[in-house]
Amino acid sequence: MREFESIDTVVVGAGQAGLSVGYHLARRGVPFVILEANSRVGDSWRQRWDSLRLFTPARFDGLDGMPFPAAPGSFPTKDAMADYLEAYATRFSLPVRTGVRVDRVSRMDGGLLVSGGHRSILAQNVVVAMADFQRSRVPDFAAALDPGIVQFHSSAYRNLRQLRPGGVLMVGAGNSGAEIAREVVRGGHQTYVSGRKIAELPFDIGGLVGRLGLARFMFRVVFFRLLRLDTPLGPKVHARVAGKPAPLIRVKSRQLAADGVVRVPRTTGVRGGLPLLEDGRTLDVANVIWCSGYEPGFSWIDLPVFNQHGAPVHTRGIATAEPRLSFVGLHFLYAMASSMIHGVGRDAAYVADRIADRRSMRKEPAAEEPAAAGPAVEAVA
């Protein structure tokens, strides 16, 4: 039997975006609950590959109200980040319910119905605090690869023990793919990276130039302040990077080449059970790791808030067609920094303010809700 309850605001996801939203809702006195599918806060980080370190130094890895407890220039491990998120939820007594996977959000009785398993919550507001890369994307032709070739998406990579002896083809290589490629080639595998080159930060983030302030300038000024949707430059950059990987931050193409990683053309299909490259060659490899991106994975939201690509249409995270639904954590939601740990707090605060405004209106019907600032955005998957 399905159990019903009523809560003003439901936040879906207890990662850095969801906890940031919870922090700001609590400061505004809004009743809320955070629903997390995993069994522990931080598990989305714990489940990533074993050697992962964050791509940004610790000085940029803390959420509002609680700096990251590590040397400012160090790169925390994924488990340290997971433990930090768990400690953050505990420190601010955020009401997180773990083990609850939301499978539908729809309209009901003047509110939004959030369903997960045998529970349903009628809410006045729902915040989807998840990145827009929830479902891994692998091309259909992957099924035609020889069954003897080990293949999986980069999201399933944990360590070198998953690989067969022999060559490895990395199909695409953003930040995660570049890090994995470096580990794989240093583990003794002939490693190929297939696809177009990706933009890179023009300096070593962990080197002297980065430590002297260029990293702070890039993250705090360029990504956070200059590249916003309400600045002259921001919309132009957004249009260029929509649907593309973020720039390589730590491991660069020259470093991969120095390690022996070979760059090859795009992988376009399969011939004779082997990966087929754009130039007509096939690669005789024993392993293929698909670093081919993600899809939004928002099919469980049963509301008319998406464009033809399945991405939400919103203004600073507030859904245009349903203002009771908000998003935090999306790529370039408001700024280049929106999907980065140091940038999520500003978007969370904005959404929390709008929720508090609507709550005040319900208590004082004569009040007028402030108009949302900034241009409407069609996020592109």
C-alpha neighbours within 13 Å on the C-beta side of residue 115: 14
User: What's the angle, vertex CA 100, arms to CA 94 and CA 106, rounded to 5?
Assistant: 100
C-beta atoms surrounding 307 within 10 Å: 12
Low-confidence ranges of the chain (pLDDT < 70): 1-3, 133-134, 207-212, 243, 363-381
Is residue 44 within 8 A of residue 79, CB to CB? The reply is: no
Q: Which residues, listed in sequence order, are joined to residue 193 by a DSSP beta bridge?
A: 170, 263
Q: What is the pLDDT of residue 364?
A: 55
Q: Tens digits of per-residue pLDDT, 145-170?
A: 999 999 999 999 999 999 999 999 99
Q: Which ranges in the chain belong to alpha helices (H)?
A: 16-27, 43-46, 78-91, 175-186, 208-209, 215-216, 234-241, 253-259, 344-363
Q: Tens digits of per-residue pLDDT, 286-315?
A: 999 999 888 778 999 999 999 988 889 999
Q: Which residues, listed in sequence order, are joined to residue 285 by a DSSP beta bridge?
A: none
Q: What is the pLDDT of residue 240?
A: 82
Average pLDDT over the chain reads: 89
Domain boundary assignment for the chain: 3-134+296-378, 136-198+245-294
- Give yes or no on whether 3-134+296-378 and 136-198+245-294 have one common fold: yes
Largest CA distance in the chain: 71
Q: What is the pLDDT of residue 381?
A: 28
Backbone angles phi, psi at 327, to 5 degrees: -130, 140
Fold observed for domain 3-134+296-378: FAD/NAD(P)-binding domain (3.50.50)
Question: Among the CATH numbers 3.30.1330.50, 3.50.50.60, 3.40.50.720, 3.60.15.10, which is that of 136-198+245-294?
Answer: 3.50.50.60
**Predicted TM-score of the model (pTM):** 0.89
